Amino acid sequence: MKVLLISANTFIEPYPVYPLGLDYVTGAIEKDHTVLIADLNLEKTKADLPRLLADEAPDVIGISIRNIDNTDKTDPKGFIHRYQDLTATIRAHSLAPIVLGGSGFSIFPSEIMALLDADYGIAGEGEQLAELLKMIEKKIYPDRATRTSVAAQTIPGLFVRGESGTGNPGKSHTMKQQFPRAFSPQSPHLNFYLTRGGMLNLQTKRGCPFACVYCTYPLIEGRKMRRFDPQEVADTALTLEKAGARYLFITDSAFNADIDHSLAVARAFQKRGVSIPWGAYFAPVTLPDGYFETLKQAGLAHIEFGTESLCDSVLKAYGKTFSQAQAVQTHQAAVQAGVHVAHFILMGGPGETPVTLDQTLERLTTLKKTAIFFYLGMRIYPGTPLYDLAIGSGQINEHQSLLDPVFYHSPAIETALIMEKVQAMAKDRTNWVVGTGGDATSRILNAMYKKGLSGPLWEFLIR
């Protein structure tokens, strides 16, 4: 069959993100099917979609939904209406069944299925599209009476139009089999990312062992870590570099969630001769002596710590496994190793009070050589501990839609007070940024990318 995979994400703040998931889905199905990719970040693709549908006449159309909104309470933006317009365009020009997937879809599968009037949806890992295509090809769904029961046995996480589905947002649907990533240097959408920062991405493992109250990673990828072979990761990194990448970002929930594996990946980078810089998300937990030095020798340039707070009572309420003292110690070790460091702070969540806010802000002023990004309010997603907490505290009800951004508010402190204090302290600190920085930051980054710079570039905020 001919399968058209569409990357629907056009949110590029602060920088565009290469559609990694579609590479893996392509790797799972390209052996048995003809695969076409349409990236809506390309203006030509957006304008020519009706013509593409008419000329190629795909048998199945998959849509990857990565973002539901920008998760920024200071400048909230929702994207569902864009996806509705997209599926309406597809319906007007094609009779092919529509299959939804992606991390955003996996969090709200039932609601998005209904809103977008899709035929199928896959919550969890998109490689399971391979099994669904087999069933579609064999016309295994002769009527409504059999399709859900058959699907449940074969494809966990499958949602079918008009049915409740075999998955739910409180349970992950992961695969034992690992499919190869089908990256192609000839992909028509590749140049869009190479000319806007030169940043491409890769995974070294899936699954998140942590239990942060707000996080959806365990819902999408599961809690059990599934590690990719370090040599294969390094081979992929070298392939991306040869294709023109000038920077790599590792998309794992936390690169150092498995310390030994992360060190093995770094050593494999060195062995294979990967020469471009890279960055990743890290948890500020206690690490072995020399850990960051080893990673820096392998090209690590940027560390993005999911610190969230520097108050122990708040960290505990957030479900974090480290203390504020450990976070500070790990920060100092990273700076000493000569790596660019950023901390992401999430304020106003469970346990936040005026006292805890002041403690965090004061301690942040002592951190040297770092960029700090502040997010106010915690986005509530179904299936997370925060969702249950918000239900129990009466902030939301179980019948309420959360597709439009809804944020948890600590009852002990007003959001306006948090904003006032953060903005006052950030006023004379160029390295303190509220949210993503919005359109202004995107414009600055794009101007720097046009000058040939690459990577996230937040190190230029540090003074």
Q: Give per-residue pLDDT as tens, 322-358.
A: 999 999 999 999 999 999 999 999 999 999 999 999 9
Same domain, 103 and 13: yes
CA–CA separation, 130 and 28 (whole Å): 6
Measured CA to CA in angstroms, residue 258 lies from 227, 228, 279, 331 at distances of 9, 12, 16, 18
146 has a pLDDT exceeding 50: no
Residues in Cβ contact with 117 at an 8 Å cutoff, skipping those fewer than 6 apart: 87, 91, 161
The answer to whether residue 182 sits within a structural domain is: no
DSSP state, 298? Answer: T
104: number of CA atoms within 13 Å, CB side?
24
Could you tell me the pLDDT band of residue 156, with boundaries at 50, 70 and 90? confident
Number of domains in the chain: 2
* Tens digit of each residue's pLDDT (9 = 90 or more) over 14-61: 789 999 999 999 999 999 999 999 999 997 777 899 999 999 999 999
The answer to whether residue 179 sits within a structural domain is: no
Same domain, 97 and 226: no
Same domain, 77 and 199: no
The answer to whether residue 165 sits within a structural domain is: no
Q: What is the mean pLDDT of residues 290-299?
A: 98
Same domain, 213 and 353: yes
> What is the separation of C-alpha 104 from the centre of its chain, rounded to a whole number of angstroms?
9
Measured CA to CA in angstroms, residue 97 lies from 118, 147, 230 at distances of 8, 15, 38
Question: Strands 300-308 and 340-347, how do they pair?
Answer: parallel
Range of the domain at 433: 195-461
With a pLDDT cut of 90, the percent of the chain lying above it is 79
Q: Which of 14-18, 55-59, 149-153, 193-197 has the lowest mean pLDDT?
A: 149-153
Q: Write the CATH number for 258.
A: 3.20.20.70
* Tens digit of each residue's pLDDT (9 = 90 or more) over 105-134: 999 999 999 999 999 999 999 999 999 999
Higher-confidence position of 359 and 448? 359
Same domain, 151 and 215: no
Domain boundary residue among 133, 160, 187? 160
Same domain, 103 and 249: no
Could you tell me the pLDDT band of residue 171, with boundaries at 50, 70 and 90? low
Same domain, 303 and 399: yes
- What is the largest distance, in Å, between two alpha-carbon atoms of the chain? 66
CA–CA separation, 197 and 179 (whole Å): 28
pLDDT value of residue 149:
47
pLDDT value of residue 250:
98
143 has a pLDDT exceeding 50: no
Q: Which of 23-37, 138-152, 256-270, 411-425 has the lowest mean pLDDT?
A: 138-152
Could you tell me the pLDDT band of residue 147, with boundaries at 50, 70 and 90? very low
Q: What is the mean pLDDT of residues 432-438?
A: 77
Query: Which residues are paired to 121 by β-bridges?
Result: 100, 159
| Closest by Cα among 425, 422, 396 to 409 | 396
Report pTM: 0.92
Q: Write the CATH number for 131.
A: 3.40.50.280
Domain boundary residue among 115, 144, 160? 160
Q: Which of 37-51, 194-208, 380-394 has the lowest mean pLDDT?
A: 37-51
Same domain, 218 and 273: yes
The answer to whether residue 190 sits within a structural domain is: no
> What is the separation of C-alpha 30 from the centre of its chain, rounded to a whole number of angstroms?
24
Same domain, 299 and 390: yes
The answer to whether residue 167 sits within a structural domain is: no
pLDDT value of residue 72:
81
The answer to whether residue 176 sits within a structural domain is: no
166 has a pLDDT exceeding 60: no
Same domain, 252 and 125: no
Which strand ranges, in their side-by-side order, compose the sheet holding 98-101? 34-39, 2-7, 60-64, 98-101, 120-122, 158-160
- Number of Cβ atoms within 10 Å of the Cβ of 192: 17
Same domain, 328 and 439: yes
Same domain, 154 and 203: no
Residues in Cβ contact with 112 at an 8 Å cutoff, skipping those fewer than 6 apart: 65, 80, 83, 100, 104, 105, 118, 121, 403
Residues in Cβ contact with 434 at an 8 Å cutoff, skipping those fewer than 6 apart: 74, 373, 374, 376, 419, 422, 423, 426
